[in-house]
Structure 1
Amino acid sequence: MDWTLEVVLLPVSDIDRAVAFYRDQVGFHLDHDTTNEHMHVVQLTPPGSGCSIVIGDLPSQTEMAPGSMRGLQLVVSDAQAARQHLVDHGVEASEITVFDERDGGTFFGFADPDGNTWAVQQLKVRADKPLIPLDARGRFGE
């Protein structure tokens, strides 16, 4: 039996600002933005990921303080290109650090407007062997 991690709740203070940051600056796909008289819930997914972030105003989504999530990790095949994308879209990103010359030893980081932090790890192998094969993607027309 598979147990897949598919959603992480991300605590933010301003839902619309967070959507603009993750969609327009970082480049996550907007899966849905649902508002009614009971809630405002948004799901965004990094390209190629099987796990999404969810932000909103339901009680389970407001238990953590905005900005309290630390060290969520993204993986890219090219750290330099990923960092440049963020910088070009107005995101402050740390310099790239190589902890180990082997694949997987290169990182940089960034934070969202609330202070939730992200580590970005380079795995060059993902260029040839994506975690989710291209032909298995379909949710976003990729």
Structure 2
Amino acid sequence: MDWTLEVVVLPVSDLDAAVAFYRDRVGFDLDHDTRTEHMHVAQLTPRGSGCSIVVGSLPAQNEMAPGSMRGLQLCVADARAARDELVGRGVECSEVMVLDERDGGTFFGFADPDGNTWAVQELRVRGDRPLIPESARGRFGG
């Protein structure tokens, strides 16, 4: 049996500001923004990913302090290009660090407005072999 990680709950203080940051500055796709009389949640997915983040007023989010998530990790085929893209959209990023010359040893980081932190790892192999093939992306929201 396969077990897949498909959603990470992310604690934020302002849902609308978080959606704007992740959609407009980081470039995640907004899958849905659902408001009812009992809740308000939004799901956003990094392009090419099978896992999304959910921000909002679900019980699990209310139990975590906004900004308390550390070291969530994204993978890209080219860390320098990804960093340049984010900086160009106004995201403050650390410098690219090469910890190991082998594939997977290059990183940079950024934080959202609440202080949740992200590590971005370069996996050059993703350029040739995406985790989710382009032909399947429409089925996964990514």
Same fold (TM > 0.5) = yes
Does residue 24 of structure 2 align to residue 43 of structure 1? no
Structure 1 consecutive aligned stretches of length 4 or more whose deviation exceeds 2 Å = 139-142
Q: Which whole-Å CA distance do the structure 1 matches of 2:35 and 2:89 have between them?
A: 27
* CA 141–61 in structure 1, closer or farther in 2 if over 3 Å, else same: closer
- Structure 2: how far apart are the matches of 1:128 and 1:40? 38
In the alignment, which residue of structure 2 is the partner of 1:14? Answer: 14
8 Å CA contact 2:104–2:123 kept in 1: the answer is: yes
Within-5 A mapping of 1:1-142: 1-139=1-139
The residue matched to 2:83 in structure 1 has which SS? helix
Alpha-carbon distance between aligned partners in 2 of 1:82 and 1:117, rounded to the nearest angstrom: 16
Displacement of 1:58 after TM fit? 2.0
Give the superposition deviation at 1:62.
Answer: 1.2
The letter of the residue matching 1:90 is: G
**Other structure's SS at 1:121 match:** strand
Q: TM-score, normalised by structure 2?
A: 0.97
Cα distance in 1 for residues equivalent to 2:123 and 2:10: 24
Whole-angstrom distance in 2 between the partners of 1:111 and 1:36: 29
What is the CA–CA distance in structure 1 between the aligned matches of 2:12 and 2:107, rounded to whole Å?
24
Distance (Å, rounded) in 1 between the aligned partners of 2:83 and 2:116: 17
* 1:139 positional shift: 4.0
5+ residue gaps, structure 2: none
TM, length-normalised to structure 1: 0.97
Contact 2:50 2:140 in 1 (8 A): no
